[in-house]
Amino acid sequence: MRTPFAVLADRVALGPRALRWGTTAALLVSVLIVVTGGVVRVTGSGLGCPTWPACDSGSLTTTPELGIHGLIEFTNRALTGVLILAVGWAILAARLQRPRRRALTRLAWSQFWLVVVNAVAGGITVQTGLNPWVVALHFVLAMALLATTTLTWHRARQSTEVVDLGSADRRLAEVLTVVTLALIAAGTAVTGSGPHSGDSAEVPRMPFDWVWVSMVHGTLAVAVLLLAIALSARLSRNPGAGVARARVRTLVIVLLAQGLVGIAQALSALPAVLVVLHLLGAALVWVGVLRVLLDVSPRLFGTVRASGGDAADGPLVSAAPGERFLRP
């Protein structure tokens, strides 16, 4: 049985430009929803809408009785609707490409399901009274969504000519990604045990010493920075690594800026504005690391096949380090 998308694809085709705009919109809104989630937390608006999926009993939207906290929390929830529209645009544009790129369509659909899972996690967060472990899971799921929107964005723009930079560079990029994941996980522990509980009422906290977990988080941040610098130094010796080298250098700049914000937070008792900026930085660091991984390790998500067919679905042609993979 054919789906409505398949029937529509027989009659309508969209060009690469529509796909690029759709994936860009999904990526930008997925970053924005991380930032607005931070605003909810630092303003103590986590329970501004005391129920879910409605904002209050008998009302899907915020009411004057809920005040500014209800407005902030409902605005964050409403942004999920904008995200669904952006992801829907990406799905439709991916499905209506000619020739069809099945891998890209699957990636776009993965965004939708992660949006649904995130929405449910948000509801559980409210129902559990901002349990810090559930809040941490909600953030991790948001970063998973950001990973899929970044990957889809990248695949929509990836050239049919990519460069293999060698196994040592690939392994270093993979280690950089794993340590960044550990950094994000440690960040949830810092937040879960820190002063910004997410609501003005008494909210349970994680049973960690905040100073200790902050030191672990900072140590991991330094490790990520050193790994990025090491990768940049290696790529500087490879004349065919221009794009990846520029990507890593941009990441180093973002990491330095993020580190300065983190230090300023620690020295100034975590002011709300810096916490939100740090969350924005976390999203940008994660996107930057993924883009480095995708450029240094094109075999992970390659678009070139050895024997024709859909370029998005097959493995890359084997080549020596520094050589280019070309469409046959």
- 296 C-beta neighbours (distance < 10 Å), count: 29
Residue ranges per structural domain of the chain: 13-158, 161-328
CA atoms within 13 A on the CB side of 155: 25
pLDDT value at residue 328: 28
Give the alpha-carbon dihedral of 59, 63, 65, 69, to 10 degrees: 110
| Dihedral sign from CA coordinates of 158, 162, 165, 168 | positive
| Cis peptide bond N-terminal to 99, omega within 30 | yes
The predicted structure's pLDDT at residue 159: 59
Go through the chain and tell me how many residues it has: 328
* Distant-in-sequence contacts of 68-72, Cβ < 8 A, 24+ apart: 68/43, 69/43, 69/44, 69/45, 69/200, 70/45, 72/39, 72/40, 72/43, 72/45, 72/48
- Helix/strand/coil percentages in the chain, nearest 5: 70, 0, 30
Pair of tokens at residue 134: 């559930």
Beta bridge partners of 45: 199
Task: Tell me what pLDDT residue 84 has.
Answer: 94
What is the pTM for the complete model shown? 0.86
What is the Cα–Cα distance from 274 to 262, expressed in whole angstroms? 8
Task: Look at residues 148, 34, 28, 32 and name the one whose alpha carbon lies nearest to residue 94.
Answer: 148
Question: Residue 45 phi/psi, 5° resolution?
Answer: -105, 15
Q: Do you find a cis peptide bond into 53, omega within 30 degrees of 0?
A: yes
- pLDDT per residue rounded down to tens, the chain (328 residues): 677 877 777 788 888 899 999 999 999 999 999 999 999 999 988 899 989 989 988 788 988 888 999 999 999 999 999 999 999 999 999 989 888 888 889 999 999 999 999 999 999 999 998 999 999 999 999 999 999 999 999 988 875 555 667 788 889 999 999 999 999 999 999 999 988 778 777 788 899 998 899 999 999 999 999 999 999 999 888 877 788 889 999 999 999 999 999 999 888 888 889 999 999 999 999 999 999 998 888 766 554 433 333 444 443 333 333 444 333 2
Burial of 321 (0-12, 13-18, 19+ CB in 10 A): middle
